[in-house]
Amino acid sequence: MSKSVTALNDEDARIYKMVVIGDGAVGKSALTIQFFQRMFVEEYDPTIEDMYVKHAVVDGENCVLDVLDTAGQEEYSAMREQYMSQGDGYLLVYSVTDERSFRAIKRFHSQALRVKDTDSFPMILVANKIDLNSFRKVSIEDGVELANKFSIPYIETSAKNPPINVEEAFYSLFEVRNENEKTYSTMASPSSRRADKSGIAADIQRKLTEKYDVAAAQKVLDWMQELIGNNNSFPEAADSSCIGKAFNDGTILVTLANAIQENAIPAKYAKPSTMAFKKMEAINMFIQFCRNYGVPDHELFETVDLYEEQNMVQVMTCLESLARKAKSKGGPGFGPKEATKNQRNFSQEVLDQSKSALPLNSSGTNKGASQSGMSFGNRRHVTNDGKF
């Protein structure tokens, strides 16, 4: 893994939140300070919560490493859980000179999984203070065995100058986090993300599929291609499956938005990504653009409609509406001219006839008003001969 530290623009960098957890006095703060400030601090007050930020380029990606150093004392457990809930990954730290801190790792590991409500999460087991090897009470074998039990990487460190594996520990967690995200992204691909629909859900999906108009979709594709030109990611056909896969990461849609309105969406969202959240974020940015551009809410689609190919009919409805709106604003588009007025001209005869119509706010309206518990005028009575 290649890495370097540099000054970056936060807007271009992804933020990774790492949380350092472990018992008190195991060297969590010493590791964090060594990583950020390249110095070893022997004496300091017990940490309650300290936050450090570092800009870096890791494997060619601009990053902001946001590290939270937490309190190890039990009295801060509730506060620690609050901080842990924000983390993208955890460094579980113990001291090789302290068996109690090693035993406490199981508690911290369980706490982390409970906070995240999951069976697994990006973590790395850090055996610290190996510079004090003559006082060692926890063997390498014990550390490796515990790491294998948790199915997480194991690394031994020393924050004392010269530091040992300090940067490697933090960047390894970064790598574990990235690998976990790629795995999730693969598992979460549209073809495998959800179980097959059944019952009424399957019927609804079938009806939606039947409503998909390939000819109308082709017209949308022709319009888009006219605006953004040839694109290697452009769908080869206008069927819902091809369009869903081509538009799935949101990059083509972001490019379309910026072709319609210059700098409508930051260019970084037009860069392809393998990360699920990045794809959904790009799609969401396009939806926000459509809303701001004037596409009515009822013609917008939801992120999952496209990302999971749940409702491609609604996706095409939105794009057709966007084309009409672009045309109405003097840009390239297609579709019928949008009405600019809601004007009705009625003859005097029709207006006179309407005076005898029942007003909507009167008793008996069919607009959803409830008449429960109310009575208007005399009640109807049925006589013995069956007449009213």
Helical spans, DSSP H, in 212-358: 214-228, 240-247, 251-260, 276-293, 303-307, 312-328, 348-354
For residue 175, the model assigns a pLDDT of: 84
For residue 7, the model assigns a pLDDT of: 42
CA–CA gap between residue 308 and residue 168 (Å, rounded): 37
Q: Which residues of the chain have pLDDT under 70?
A: 1-12, 43-50, 58-59, 71-80, 82, 181-199, 201, 231-232, 275-277, 339-340, 357-388
Burial profile 45-70: b = 16 or more Cβ within 10 angstroms, e = fewer: eebeebebeebbebeeebbbbbbbbb
User: pLDDT tens, 217-270?
Assistant: 999 999 998 898 876 678 888 888 888 888 988 899 999 999 999 999 998 888
For residue 208, the model assigns a pLDDT of: 76
For residue 28, the model assigns a pLDDT of: 92
CA–CA gap between residue 224 and residue 187 (Å, rounded): 30
For residue 122, the model assigns a pLDDT of: 93
What the block records as the tokens of 351 is: 């207006």
For residue 197, the model assigns a pLDDT of: 56
User: pLDDT tens, 286-332?
Assistant: 998 999 999 998 999 888 788 878 889 999 999 999 999 999 888 88
For residue 138, the model assigns a pLDDT of: 97
For residue 56, the model assigns a pLDDT of: 77
On whether the CB atoms of residues 32 and 14 are closer than 8 A, the answer is no
For residue 146, the model assigns a pLDDT of: 96
For residue 385, the model assigns a pLDDT of: 57
What the block records as the tokens of 375 is: 């009575």
Q: How many CA atoms lie within 13 A of 246 on its CB side?
A: 19
Burial profile 177-192: b = 16 or more Cβ within 10 angstroms, e = fewer: bbebbeeebeebebee
Helical spans, DSSP H, in 117-213: 140-150, 166-187, 199-211
CA–CA gap between residue 98 and residue 131 (Å, rounded): 13
For residue 48, the model assigns a pLDDT of: 44
- At 171, which amino acid appears? Y
Domains of the chain: 14-187 (3.40.50.300), 199-329 (1.10.418.10)
State whether residue 210 is helix, strand or coil: helix
